Amino acid sequence: MARSRKNAADRRALAHELRQNLARMRRMMDELTEALNELEPADREPPRFVRADFTAAQLRVMDAVVNLDDKYTALWDQLHMSKRTFDDHLARLYRKLGTRKRHGLARIAVRYRLV
């Protein structure tokens, strides 16, 4: 009996702590939202990309991904490079463009006329 009371008290304490953390996180989100709303429109603009920001190999990889016809089969062979090299170029492109997916890369590349 005493043990179940202790467990119930522990659960109540944990629930209280979680509610406090949630309230703190909500306040932080409100502060961040206010800060974002105060930014000038120019500060909210996405970064601009130009072809000069990328190496020739990265542009070839970007072009291959954008012009992909529903299959990811051996793009590296078509570009005459190893899979590892292709993956490295792709990872660098993702990092530079701030995306994690091929369709994000393609969308940005077309938007900024990189291909």
pLDDT digits (tens, 9 = 90+) for 50-93: 888 899 999 999 999 888 765 666 788 888 999 999 999 999 99
Which is higher by pLDDT, 71 or 106?
106
> Regarding predicted confidence, which is higher, 89 or 47?
89
Q: Which of 115, 110, 27 is nearest to 63 (CA)?
A: 115
How confident is the model over 14-35, as a mean pLDDT?
Answer: 89
The rounded Cα 95 to chain-centroid distance in angstroms is 9
pTM for this entry: 0.57
Band of pLDDT at residue 34, cut at 50, 70 and 90: confident
51-111: CATH topology: Arc Repressor Mutant, subunit A (1.10.10)
In this predicted structure, the answer to whether residue 45 has a pLDDT above a threshold of 60 is no
State mean pLDDT over 42-57: 76
Contact 99, 108 (CB under 8 A): yes
Which residues does 62 contact at the CB level (< 8 Å), separation at least 6? 54, 93, 105, 109, 114, 115
**pLDDT score, position 58:** 93
